[in-house]
Structure 1
């Protein structure tokens, strides 16, 4: 909401024309102190309706203004009494020392505030039906906003992923000068995977060279959607100073005082604008006509509203446009993207953006049913809790009978008992773990069903154990308030959990020892995928006495950030830390040394190479016969290793025709390798609940083939883990294997030796047989190096030098320039014709942005045939290339020196490629120093 200078009242720009002023207490009447604000929030949270709750995130490319915009949101919401500055290190959400020193966001921060500011005194908010009857938007009532500020650097992609996993909506911020950048496309695509409704906010329109119209075109071409321009920039004076925005929804001009804190906003009607600024009023009418026309193409209700006004675009009610925008945004696979304008650093445009967050983005009640898996079945959480989801199983259930000793009954499907479901008090997803120096380990959770109460029994379905959280917190960045419970749809923090990790599903169930019964104990919410690391560096403790403390600190760090990995070289005993990039490892080192007080040093950053084989091995059978932990273990296994190309149809060199498909009990691809397990005669005798990778078959053979202490899932898991262990070290240089297919054959008659055959012995035999097969191929093994997809943003003048450096000095090859960029996103249902996108003219360009500036495959005015962007040598261009990762180590410093500090780049792993003999020799010489 916005306060008018002439009256201490709050108004919604989207409904001003229709409903007039809405009385609101001034923001100064709320306590400006954060503690008082938090205490007020704590007393009201327990009674908040989910309809008045928003879980949103701020996503964008680095340096687009995410944290700056967040600071203004907190200030106008009454959470802070002053506006923090990123350069001064005084922001609320960037509270880590490393964040304030570098001026970037490293870890996502959760914070809760109210918008519009909550009036003093307890008041019962009106229902949504009451608001609808009065033609008022949702922003007329105070809402609770749970906001997460995410990082923009490519090295912290996992931090963005786990935040997106639990969000209901997102605000994507674009730099008005740079437009849609590479990392913007990446996070937009990640949000599309989770089907998160989004709106776009074009920031930094006060900077020289800002081009709102060009950026709108890029939203269509690069993000694969139709931009619905809800606001246009308002420039004033001969220097074209950015002073405010024109609201196409309410047909009003919003003018901010220059140099002010942004609280005072002057509003002008269309008639007033026609007298004071004819050109701007005319453009505002065009924006309204284009908005109504676009909505009419996507929403039938808008067509009816338009016809009720006898075809007058300007007469359509603002509340009808808001409702139409909301319906379009909430549609699955929507292609409509609302676009707003502002300059957060100049305190312009943030309050209307907050109104749009409330009016357009969904509440937790409006999101689709969360996806869960129960055993091998998948479905919606509410469907399972209501008993509608039937869980498929081939488990043999033993039903006791009074007359008979026992009777076995085989079932193919069953659902959870209603009595057990009624005892289920809550279901939550742990999406983040943080080690706090004062409070201990904090586990951030999103509650999807029920309530998580203080000291409740929490069953971890991933680890199959129970814990208790003695304290529950509501986080306000680095501050926290203790709460008695966390309700459905809200985000909170559990304190005191010893084992919970990122991605774990937590169930609140009364029974602490046994936990919930089957199949509830296998319920898992959709997990968070962890991208593979590509950089690694060695870690050395300062002394042997410090080694234990270093590994304890590493365990805390890995629990906090699963995108980090730690391995120990068996030959040298060296500890290696792997991460997503140079900055990622640098931050990890700072956390180890400064936060966890580990006395250790980090070596130079190295490349995570892989090994591959070029020919198949002969079948190798190994019998493991050795004591394991004081107990005799004996088991056998046969292994065959072959090259594997996931992009080509696979044809095994073994006699696959002789293998019955029912005997293949597992066929899975992981980390670029394929593992197939064959168990002759056992494939159709499942006697336990199968894992998701096992094929479910009817029971046709006897269970007498297996000893009583072994089940087929146990055998499969042991064989699979043994093969994975063998693939972790290549036969030639001890790098992990890639593009390798392992076929394991396990025979009940020749590889089982009674009670001596334990799961650990089976796993050891699998690993030994696979290693022996790989040893045969040691001479032909070769190194593979990661090749990166690199996108470089560079100005026109430096583009030639950068292209030459990539293609010659670094051995990469150029894929495309931004002229050839075509957006192809899974979330775009139809191709976007950029020539049909409305965009206002840019005052700093050579002329209005039109269809001639951008062809259908362009990127918003970047056509080589002309246009404002291509005519200026200072305009940013985008280069897409594939470059070996080794050549990208330290590239940022080189790129800055090459371009005068004006270029940036982002990269992601494309694939691993086999190295030539000369390149492999040079890489090994660099690693060994010989």
Structure 2
């Protein structure tokens, strides 16, 4: 809860405020505010404002926005349940198998025992930090941060590969992450690279150490070799008598053992110092000393401060204080160039290791002010949000916008008068990262507030849609439950109820003046959007009757607003509505939501593959003149088109002065040429124009109109009606033959380009011909050694795929990590030698057999390229081949031409066997 606006506080002081507000907000600050540091001329209102600002900064510093990310079945939801129980948020521990967990509240999640959509929840650690007095209590610098209660906003994410977008939009708004592993798998690497794309600080939690055959040391070595990081081993597992059951952990930071009682809820922990461990578990105590020495040595390679502390302790690894190690680990976690990642151990299902993990979250992961500066763009200039709020970025944008060009002098001068005035009116900036249609509360828009405070009844301007909406209610979500609040302060995650238009990835701002549109250039302010991966499967959706079609379309619109990774299109030939998604399970869940939750009376067909069509040769040059009346106005334009095959790997030729556009879009290349158009630029920053162009039309408008026309024609192939792929379209505009003064409109140009391109495409079947193309997937399959042979044989013989490699890393494609923002500095980093990484011996593992264990015991990875059609239903088949232990992830690699025999079989199947 945030104070009422400061403008209502009179200069006479704060006596008008309620006594409760004064007691809970101001009184606790008296002991923490140094009056001498204030200017002598401070008024009471200024004192109140500064005090409140310091209090808010203190609360924000004690906030953690984290997520739990991992591969499927790594124990993310189980760990979340324990966190909620130990923090006092719940009174019982939920179970995934029973369907009683807090964060998996959807019927489909409880029925399948997996997480489908991310759930946000807020709790305090250590417990008892909900009161404002507790949050304003100053921290003792000699104690770790976990000694004072912190607010944790936690997001539990899915692990299944079909819900990649759900993970990506959660990662977009997090400040830190707990990365859970139960062995490094293909999906493990994929999720890790996604987090690296957003530069999220992480700690690693090795879970499920209670399972038979659990190998902590092997997992540590896999983390180093396959994730290319140096694991800072902070915990080592405690197996009773060395080879017995997992009973606890040994803490290398605090040099102590933590033991839990078997079968209890985990709240009782027996703590033993190093001397007690020497007496009861001498082997464990010796290994703990090795772990502490390795931890200090590893930190010394990155952090100079810990080197000084080490020398101050007479080069004794055991004498370095735990606080020095925690602060050194925190510096490494917050440093984006560091490759050191803290690693912890536990067994969440057995209620072991979760409390130390929560301490690590508070001690090591960043608060919102310490997180990387969010990327924003304003008026075509990109930079950090903090630079924008300080005024530096807005000055740069204003200088760019204020170029002295003809016709724009007045507007540019207005912007240049005082560039910081507009930013001074910005009250809050938030990103909508998720939309949920709740049957009771209506549409819930999840937002992360990055600056200011989002207040109830404030007017939100959507900079993506350029419209304003009122925020009638604000909620703080606790999974499926909610608490109504008056405001959502910066750095926090909340929900806005009642927004009709906001979508995933939209930027929402509030501003002073309460006008429908904010001052320029705030209308162009946008936080970095969330990239949506392309769909790979589709299925048909049909209403039960014509009267139900409107209801079905409305339900599909709600479904797409919730999940932008779903796509809806209409087949022009059959008129069918097609729903596309990321995988079989994704579409299955969408069907359940559509029919059971949204009550749409419709049926879905079988899952189909999105094929493509490509020409085998070039067409002749075809010219079309469009001359028709559109909406009461005559439109006339012409265009010449040539289509020919194009390989995506081909390097485009250098554009000459007659080329207006040469761009590759969705696997096709569009080239626009205008010989003799004589383009010229009126001034710096002005668009190119030509005396031959119609009045009011510039080069950008011309290019856009022709490009849209060509794309419309490429959406439908001439022979098989699939979208065209690997096709180059060359459009030529002759100003004397194709432009007709004021009669040439943008719609006429688009129509002429579409007609010319379509006519050129229709030439292909009777000439060089066309061929069907099918998506080929890059598949990474994780299996055990015993199943390796049968899986390889099945892929290479029965499914028409070919094996690329065994146990080798393959670069991720654009669907695995954002193509627009690669991981800076990660491409050229040298690989990490696992022999240099400290890892304790696993039970039944000898020092001589450690290297052998890494190669023979760990899962084998098969990398193959397989047609997507053969991967439909593959998960069930793989589990039957591997006794339920095999998993796989896949992403689109490319489209390949089909052989005539395979093409004939596919066409026969699509036509129902005729």
With the shorter chain as reference, the TM-score category is: 0.7 to 0.9
Matching residue of 1:86: 96
Q: How far 1:822 sits from its partner (Å)?
A: 7.8
- Superimposed CA distance per residue, residues 65-86 of structure 1 (whole angstroms, 9 cap, x where no aligned partner): 0000000111111111111000
Q: 1:723 to 1:877 in 2, by over 3 A?
A: same
Q: 1:759 to 1:492 in 2, by over 3 A?
A: farther
- Partner in structure 2 of residue 144 of structure 1: 151
Q: Distance in 2 between matches of 1:141 and 1:327?
A: 20
Pair 127,79 (structure 1): closer, same or farther in 2 beyond 3 Å: closer
Q: 1:23 aligns to what? A: none
Distance 1:633 1:294, change over 3 A: same
Question: Shift of the alpha carbon at 1:682?
Answer: 6.9
In the superposition, relative to structure 1, how do residues 407 and 126 fare at CA in structure 2: closer, same or farther (>3 Å)?
A: closer
CA deviation profile, 1:451-472 (whole Å, cap 9, x unmatched):
2222222222222222222111
Structure 1: how far apart are the matches of 2:260 and 2:625? 80
> What SS does the corresponding residue of 1:598 show, helix, strand or coil?
coil
Pick the aligned partner of 1:784 from 773, 777, 790: 773
CA distance in 2, matches of 1:530, 1:768: 31
User: How far is 1:621 from its partner?
Assistant: 3.0
Corresponding position: 1:717 with 2:700: no
Q: Rate the CA distance shift 1:916–1:291 in 2: closer, same or farther, 3 A.
A: same
Match of 2:107 in 1: 97
Change (3 A) 1:699 1:494: closer
Q: 1:906 aligns with which of 876, 889, 906?
A: 889
Q: CA deviation at 1:882?
A: 1.2
* Aligned length in residues: 843
| Aligned ranges 1:103-118 → 2 under 5 Å | 103-118=113-128
**C-alpha contact 1:262 1:347 (8 A) present in aligned 2:** yes
Q: Which runs of 5+ in 2 are unaligned?
A: 1-53, 813-822
Matching residue of 2:45: none
Matched, 1:372 2:359: no
Q: CA deviation at 1:744?
A: 3.2
Contact 2:242 2:283 in 1 (8 A): no
* Shift in CA distance, 698/365, structure 1 to aligned 2, threshold 3 Å: closer
Q: Which residue of 2 aligns with 1:692?
A: none
- Indicate the residue corresponding to 1:668 in structure 2: 663
Q: Is the 8 A contact 1:387 1:415 kept in 2?
A: no
Aligned residue runs from structure 1 range 574-653, under 5 A = 574-651=576-653
Does structure 1 residue 55 correspond to structure 2 residue 86? no
| Equivalent in the alignment of 2:173 | 166
Residue 290 of structure 1, aligned match among 283, 288, 294: 294
Q: Secondary structure at the match of 1:926?
A: helix
Partner of 2:804: 815
Residue in 1 that maps onto 2:84: 74
CA gap of 1:822–1:595, structure 2 versus 1, over 3 A, is: closer
CA shift at 1:788, angstroms?
Answer: 1.1
Deviations 1:148-178 (A, max 9, x none): 1110000011111111111111111111xxx
Give matches, 1:752-901, under 5 Å: 752-779=739-766, 780-818=769-807, 820-821=808-809, 827=826, 829-843=829-843, 845-848=844-847, 852-853=851-852, 861-863=853-855, 869-870=856-857, 876-901=859-884
Q: 1:244 aligns with which of 228, 243, 248?
A: 248
- Check 1:306–1:904 CA distance in 2 against 1; reply closer, same or farther (3 A cut): same
- Match of 1:793, SS state, is strand
Please state how far the C-alpha of 1:200 moved relative to its aligned partner. 0.6
Match for residue 8 of structure 1? none
Is the contact between residue 667 and residue 674 of structure 1 (CA under 8 Å) also seen in structure 2? yes
Could you tell me which runs of 5 or more consecutive residues in structure 1 were left unpaired when the two chains were aligned: 1-43, 401-405, 688-695, 854-860, 864-868
- Is the 8 Å Cα contact of residues 841 and 849 (structure 1) preserved in structure 2? no
Deviations along 1:407-452, whole A, 9 cap, x unmatched? 7798999698322211111111111111111111111111122222
Alpha-carbon distance in structure 1 between the residues aligned to 2:810 and 2:558: 43
The reply on whether 1:227 has 2:226 as its aligned counterpart is no
After TM superposition, the score normalised by the length of structure 2 is 0.87
The 1:629–1:87 alpha-carbon spacing in structure 2 relative to 1, beyond 3 Å, is farther
Q: What's the RMSD between the two structures over aligned residues? A: 2.8
Question: Which of 187, 190, 204 pairs up with 1:186?
Answer: 190
Q: Summarize the alignment of residues 518-557 of structure 1 with structure 2, pairs less than 5 Å apart.
A: 518-557=520-559
Report the CA distance shift for 1:521/1:640 in structure 2 as closer, same or farther (over 3 A).
farther
Query: Is structure 2 residue 276 aligned with structure 1 residue 272?
Result: yes
Equivalent position to 1:256, from 247, 256, 260? 260
State how far apart, in whole Å, the 2-side matches of 1:666 and 1:519 are: 29
Q: Note the C-alpha offset of 1:510.
A: 4.4
| d(CA) in 2 for partners of 1:683, 1:213 | 69
The whole-number CA distance in structure 1 between the counterparts of 2:749 and 2:743 is: 10
Q: Is the 8 A contact 2:536 2:580 kept in 1?
A: yes
Q: 1:393 to 1:635 in 2, by over 3 A?
A: farther
Alpha-carbon distance in 2 for matches of 1:725, 1:388: 42
Distance (whole Å) between structure 1 residues aligned to residue 108 and residue 524 of structure 2: 39
- Taking structure 1 as the reference length, what is the TM-score of the superposition? 0.86
Q: CA 1:821/1:530 → structure 2, altered by over 3 Å: closer, same or farther?
A: closer
Deviation at 1:206, TM superposition (A): 0.4
Alpha-carbon distance in 2 for matches of 1:68, 1:700? 58
1:455 is matched with 457
Query: Any idea what the Cα deviations from partners look like across 1:380-431, whole Å, max 9, x if unmatched?
Result: 222233331213757877899xxxxx97798999698322211111111111
2:718 is matched with 731
Query: Deviations along 1:789-819, whole A, 9 cap, x unmatched?
Result: 212222222211111111111111112222x
Superposed CA deviations along residues 163-207 of structure 1, whole A, max 9, x for unmatched, are 1111111111111xxx10111100100111111111110000001
- Taking the aligned partners of 2:239 and 2:867, their CA distance within structure 1 comes to 46
Match of 1:131 among 140, 156, 162: 140
Measure, in 2, the Cα distance between the counterparts of 1:849 and 1:472. 60
* Matched residue SS, 1:49: helix
Worse overlay, 391-400 or 294-303: 391-400
Residue 133 of structure 2 aligns to a residue whose secondary structure is: coil
Output the CA distance in 1 between the equivalents of 2:610 and 2:423: 46
Counterpart position of 2:335: 331
Separation in 2 of the partners of 1:666 and 1:410?
29
In structure 1, distance between residues paired with 2:371 and 2:130: 31
CA contact (8 A) 1:224 1:827 kept: no
Q: Does 1:302 align with 2:306?
A: yes
Q: Does 1:204 align with 2:187?
A: no
Q: What is the aligned partner in structure 2 of residue 11 from structure 1?
A: none
Residue 729 of structure 2 is aligned to residue 742 of structure 1: yes
Aligned residues of 2:66 and 2:178 also touching (Cα < 8 A): yes
- The more displaced of 414-423 and 879-888 is 414-423
Whole-Å separation in 1 of the counterparts to 2:895 and 2:765: 19
* 2-structure distance, mates of 1:677, 1:432: 39
Q: 2:403 matched to 1:382?
A: no
Q: Secondary structure at the match of 1:56?
A: strand
> Aligned partners of 1:367 and 1:568: how far apart in 2?
43
Distance 1:622 1:411 in 2: 46
Partners of 2:412 and 2:243 lie apart in 1 by 81
Structure 1 residues 803 and 431: alpha-carbon distance in aligned structure 2, compared to 1, 3 A threshold = same
**Partners of 1:522 and 1:334 in 2: CA distance:** 35
Q: Can you list the C-alpha shifts for 1:657-708, whole angstroms capped at 9, x where unaligned?
A: xx40xx5444433322233344567785568xxxxxxxx9655976755455
Distance 2:905 2:414 in 1: 58
String of CA shifts for 1:554-573, please: whole Å, max 9, x gaps. 11111111111111111111
Looking at structure 1, the residues matched to 706 and 525 of structure 2 have their Cα atoms a distance apart, in angstroms, of: 25
